[in-house]
Amino acid sequence: MVKDAASKYITEKEQKEVKILEAFGSAMAERPINLEELSKRREDLRLIGGDELVIEASAVVANFAHVTKIVDTTGRKHDPQLIKFLQKIFFLRRHGSKIKYSLLTVLAIGTYALLRKKGV
């Protein structure tokens, strides 16, 4: 849903660059980590934005990993009622694949826009 809406406001080239950012984020999140795949995705990312983009995208992933560890150490468990509520709102069963990547897409677009603004 967000992905479809965002695609109307960016060029085809920018859409390809967003896909490269998404692929890098997915490779970073994969467990067990596939170093060969990650290396390929990192090089793809370097081609569109240089070392600065690789560092910034890596920092974003590291921040998410850090926050996840903080939440995990609190012992917080998911609330089954909250999960049911979210499933109803976001139609997770019907639109799971779109929702799964929508946040990553928003993050990738935001990072890209910030880098463009900085002139990278």
- 39-93: per-residue pLDDT in tens? 999 999 999 999 999 999 999 998 888 888 887 788 777 778 877 777 676 665 5
How many structural domains are present in the chain? 1
The pTM for the full model equals 0.58
- By CB atoms closer than 10 A (0-12, 13-18, 19+), residue 25 is buried
Q: Residue 22 is part of which domain span?
A: 2-118
Q: How confident is the model at residue 108 (pLDDT cuts 50, 70, 90)?
A: confident
Residue 37 host element (H or E): helix 35-73
DSSP letters spanning 53-100: HHHHHHHHHHHHHHHHHHHHHTT----HHHHHHHHHHHTHHHHHHHHH
